[in-house]
Amino acid sequence: MSQRCDEPGMYRYCREIINTMNDGLVVVAPDGTIMMVNRAFEEIMGYSRDELIGRACSFIHCDACEIARAEGKGHWCDLFDLGSATRKPCTLIRKDGSYVHVLKNASILRNAAGEVLGAVETLTDISEITKRDQKIQELSRLLEGDEGFHGIVGKSAIMRRVFDLTEKAAQSGAPIIIYGDSGTGKELVALAIHALGKRRDGPFIQFNCAALNEALLESELFGHVKGAFTGAYSHRQGRFEAANRGDIFLDEIGDIPLSTQVKLLRVLETKQFERVGEVRSIKVDVRIISATNQDLESLVAQGKFREDLFFRINAIPIHLPPLRDRMEDVPLMVNHFIQRLREQSGKPITGLTPGALRLLMDHPWPGNVRELKGALEYAFVLAEKGLIHPEHLPPTLAGPAPPPEVPEESQRRAGTAEKAALIAALRQTGGNQSKAAVLLGVSRITVWHRMKKYGIDVQKLIAV
């Protein structure tokens, strides 16, 4: 004859069985009092069994629970009206104040007469799955730029210095700030720092400080608890908490209001913060990488940016040059973007005509690398195959009609663009003249003649 858990001698075995479960289990009385928990529940919450038994279920701060008692009903939660809940996502607050993400399954317990005895809930900890998804997103972004230096294309002297400083800065635990005009690739540098640093196995959390108004900024950065303000219907983990043991990238940090700057300074100095609507301090281990296209020293002088915060985040500054200051990298980037766009569109486009390249080399690129990429995306819409011609490029690249050039000056400018394109193609192909010819859309003999014309030594070129 089989035995039930309520029969003498079986209760002890049922407890052992329950304690072998990986999911947390809690049994709650009709009045909301915690009657029983298993070992997994203790581990999820960080509380011992003795700290939980007899406490109200609201003690665990489940943001998905409906705590309000319905008028005329005798139960503390609408679960007793619904009868069950399946795979309901919710967030709990652990003993140390951190959030834990779980999937909840719940059901009412009744005796043979149909009377309610309580409720049983099982909780599956999905925090690691959440972290894994964040890591997959981060790796996907890294894989989008698998050429050059962690997705940053350039071989000019000024960019080689940036790459060297980035590698060294990544090994430090000090705050890093990236200065550069819009579109210069500050996000890619931040990703490279994370990938090269000691926190590479931790999360990389990005946040644009100019994206939200002051009222929502603190909630995004530090999180909030349910009911902290109108519209706070559930607990929310802030970016700093999500970045624990990793890196947080604060883009456009110059746009943070002074009130938030004070709290950011505290995080830097004490490694602690409070969620909106909560007085308990949360400890985090986060390295801050920030970026701006503004002159922070000027903002400090104007009283718009705290001087003490500036000195804290400016420990290791990295300055990204505008594209106009490294024009020798343009042909390299053109080849990089064309290869990417060819893979995405399926169009058999192989390169640029000399005239199209000349337009790109003459343009000042106020929008930097982002503008260059956009110009080539535009060209891929108009061109169908072969080479991109000047008429395929955005009209803005042509600008106002230039004054007539004397023949010598025109030839000099054409020669400069032709030589730069040849050098870029040879470097990209490791000195292979046939492959370079394909990239340039010319014959191998033409490549050879141009190498002789400009005195290019392949061995010296690819050794640089």
**DSSP letters for 63-96:** TTS--SPPTT---SSTHHHH-EEEEEEEEEE-TT
Count of CB atoms situated within 10 Å of the CB of 419: 18
- The pLDDT of residue 68 is 36
Q: Which CATH number fits domain 130-321: 3.40.30.10, 3.40.50.720, 3.40.50.300, 2.60.40.420?
A: 3.40.50.300
CA dihedral 422, 427, 432, 433 (to 10 degrees): 10
* pLDDT-based confidence at residue 421 (cuts at 50, 70, 90): confident
Cα distances (angstroms) measured from residue 233 to each of 64, 236, 240: 9, 9, 20
Is residue 464 pLDDT above 70, yes or no? no
- The pLDDT of residue 429 is 81
Domain boundaries, the chain: 11-125, 130-321, 325-463
Beta bridge partners of 386: 349
| Cβ pair 52, 59 in contact under 8 A | yes
- The pLDDT of residue 335 is 92
CATH code: domain 11-125 is: 3.30.450.20
Beta bridge partners of 206: 249
- Residue 416's Cβ-side half-sphere holds a number of Cα atoms within 13 Å equal to 14
- The pLDDT of residue 125 is 86
Q: What is the pTM of this model?
A: 0.63
* Mean pLDDT within 281-297: 94
The rounded mean pLDDT for the chain is 83
Domain 325-463 has CATH 3.90.1640.30: no
Token reading at 274 = 């409070």
Count of CB atoms situated within 10 Å of the CB of 290: 25
Is residue 71 pLDDT above 50, yes or no? no
- The pLDDT of residue 145 is 45
Nearby residues of 112 by Cβ (< 8 Å), 6 or more positions away: none
| Cβ pair 195, 201 in contact under 8 A | no
Which amino acid, one-letter code, is at 157? A
Range with the lowest mean pLDDT among 77-91, 221-235, 420-434? 77-91
